[in-house]
Amino acid sequence: MSYDSNNIFAKIIRGEIPCEIVDESAFFISFYDLYPKAPIHVLVIPKGEFENAFSFHNDATQEQIYGFYQGLNQVIAKLDLNNIGFKLLSNNGVGGGQEIFHYHVHLLGGFENS
């Protein structure tokens, strides 16, 4: 499957669909999940065109990979999740439950025991 530049997250990056932004840089954008599955549920996505974790890790430049994961950490710190705890989840491929085919990481937190 090749990257479809009309996927929802590509449209969010281009500003064609609104979202509630947490943080962004030249390399990533993070925004609240529209259908949260945890008290805190944000998505962090690279701005480049990558379908899933495998293609991102395979095809992105070192600068893109560093910029993305640095952004992820920035969001973790901004939401204080480094202190209260969090889960990181990435669904990959139809068999992995992925619904939107632009690489993204789910950042989940605020659970009862946190």
- Residues catalogued as catalytic: 104
* Under rule CB under 6 A, residue 35 binds ligand AMP: yes
* Under rule CB under 6 A, residue 24 binds ligand AMP: no
Q: Which of 34, 84, 88, 94 binds ligand AMP (CB under 6 A)?
A: 34
Asked if 42 contacts 74 with a C-beta cutoff of 8 angstroms, the reply is no
- The DSSP bridge pattern shows strands 86-89 and 40-46 to be unpaired
* Under rule CB under 6 A, residue 8 binds ligand AMP: yes
Compute the distance between CA of residue 50 and CA of residue 42 in angstroms, rounded to an integer. 19
Other Cβ atoms less than 10 A from the Cβ of 22: the count is 19
Residues interacting with ligand AMP, by CB under 6 A?
A: 8, 17, 19, 33-35, 43, 91, 97-100
